[in-house]
Amino acid sequence: MPILFESQYNPPAQFFAELAGHDALWLERHDNYRKQTYRNRCLILTAQGVKPLTVPVIDGNRSEKVLTSAIEIDYRQNWVHQHWRGLQTAYGGTPYFEYYADYLHDIYVQKPALLFDLNLAFLRFYLRCLRLPTPVEFTTEYHAHYDSPIVLDRRDCLTPKAALAPEPDRKSVRPYLQTFGKDFVPGLSILDLLFMQGPAAGSFLA
């Protein structure tokens, strides 16, 4: 059965744990953009605690609805430099930062116009890194609800606000050593796991 998710920016590790056992990933191309979601933000771990990195978008605050796939990135703000410096500061000393840094930087500097395209470029890279052969397909129209067994609908099941909250049906990520703090912090971007575990990262997706 395919699994359905919305487009996400540097998704949390749980996103990839959810893919296990599904024969395809459907990405929603026809949903309306929603603020304060993983569509344009991710969570990283810093010396000061969990920090969000947010991609600024054009028209994201308009009262009328805008398709997520049509949302443009606002490059008038120097967010690429800020995000990259944030990743360097938080993860520059991790075992595998240099292993992935050039590939990630290349995606950033391409500066795709659309948020959906940026997210897709990162997603395809992470699937390769995690050795997940899950094919990516796209919805052709919007449906508010899907009946199983057509697809497992997991749109907006992962949110930044609920990242630390338990959810009975959420797939887990096996705890691993993180850069800061003594207690394992869930809900972080897949980058946190990759930078710490490198090619072994996929084995932590329960």
pLDDT of residue 168: 47
- Torsion sign, CA atoms 134, 37, 205, 19: negative
Q: What is the DSSP string of 69-131?
A: GGPEE-TTS-HHHHHHHHHHHHHTTSTTHHHHHHHHHHHHHH--SBHHHHHHHHHHHHHHHTT
pLDDT of residue 59: 77
Give the contacts of 13 (CB within 8 A, at least 6 positions apart): 173, 188, 189, 190, 192, 193, 204, 205
pLDDT of residue 147: 79
Answer for the pair 13, 188: CB distance below 8 angstroms, yes or no: yes
pLDDT of residue 149: 82
Give the contacts of 177 (CB within 8 A, at least 6 positions apart): 196
Answer for the pair 137, 96: CB distance below 8 angstroms, yes or no: no
Longest dimension (CA), the chain: 46
Is the previous residue joined to 168 through a cis bond, with omega within 30 degrees of 0?
no
- Per-residue tens of pLDDT for the chain, all 206 residues: 999 999 999 999 999 999 988 999 999 999 999 999 999 999 999 999 999 999 999 976 665 789 999 999 999 999 999 999 999 999 999 999 999 999 999 999 999 999 999 999 999 999 999 999 999 999 999 999 987 789 999 999 999 987 655 454 456 799 999 999 999 999 999 999 999 999 999 999 97
Going by their DSSP bridges, the two strands 57-58 and 25-28 should be labelled as unpaired
Give the separation between CA 20 and CA 171, rounded to whole angstroms.
Answer: 9
pLDDT of residue 49: 95
Which of 206, 202, 27, 26 shows the shortest CA–CA distance to 131?
202
Instruction: Name the percent of the chain in helix, strand, coil, to the closest 5.
Output: 30, 15, 50
pLDDT of residue 172: 79
